[in-house]
Structure 1
Amino acid sequence: MTSPLRYLTIDVTDSSDDVLTVEAMASTRESQHTAVMAEVDQILAWARREFAGRQGPVEDGYAWDDELLIQREGEGWITVTLTLSASPEFVEAFMPIFGDHEE
């Protein structure tokens, strides 16, 4: 069971070629970095479980792929960006679990 995300914010963008981009991002102090990375691991574990064997270039017919960027900023800040290229099917399953539940 997944728990709600506390640090990562989710943004979904659409493109004209039926490949969506899901960006999960957090900018936190060093002391919160372990918790942010636990949320990244939670998302990736879900994707690997729910879409097992379907990771790869979405434009080649796969359901999802990922890229993780960790940037150490000044004064003890760390920005983590997990970018998922995703099929509409993946995003439809992803958003009820990890999307913003606030109205």
Structure 2
Amino acid sequence: MHLDYLLFDSTDEPGGSCSFDALASVLPARMPALCEEIAAVLGWAHRSFGAPSAFEDADGWDFHLQGSGEHDEPLQMDYDFARNRVVMPPPRGRVTIALTVSGSPAFASAFSEAFAEP
């Protein structure tokens, strides 16, 4: 799957797990497209590996999503798995989003394949 806003860097963790970190900063007009990418990534993880589980099983995964507004004010945001969408108040000004997705070695391998950069 091609991503325009989320470019992930990976970090190997002790025990074989892996974390993928992305940071994106957009103006309000681009937030819907960025939120669609976040939903695509988290929706893929949920469909492929089940609910986030903080690595409780061999194929576990988890995520951390946070955002801040133009003047570094924190944004209340979350991901609604039932509706496959990011939930947040309408942005005012530039928004910076940080997304970390972590998982088992099996998750990391599948994630790398699904979201490989061209």
TM-score, normalised with respect to structure 1: 0.83
Unaligned runs of 5+ in 1: none
Q: Does 1:91 align with 2:88?
A: no
Q: Choose from 15, 18, 21 the match for 2:19.
A: 21
1:31 aligns with 29
2:47 aligns with 49
Q: Number of residues paired by the alignment?
A: 97
Q: Does 1:65 align with 2:82?
A: no
* 1:94 aligned partner, one-letter code: F
RMSD: 1.8
Q: Distance in 2 between matches of 1:94 and 1:4?
A: 13
Q: Distance in 1 between matches of 2:116 and 2:98?
A: 15
Q: Does 1:81 align with 2:78?
A: no
* 2:54 aligned partner, one-letter code: P
* 2:103 aligned partner, one-letter code: A
- Report if the CA contact (8 A) 2:63-2:99 is conserved: yes
Q: Distance in 1 between matches of 2:23 and 2:7?
A: 5
Distance apart, 1:99 and its partner CA: 2.4
Higher helix share: 1
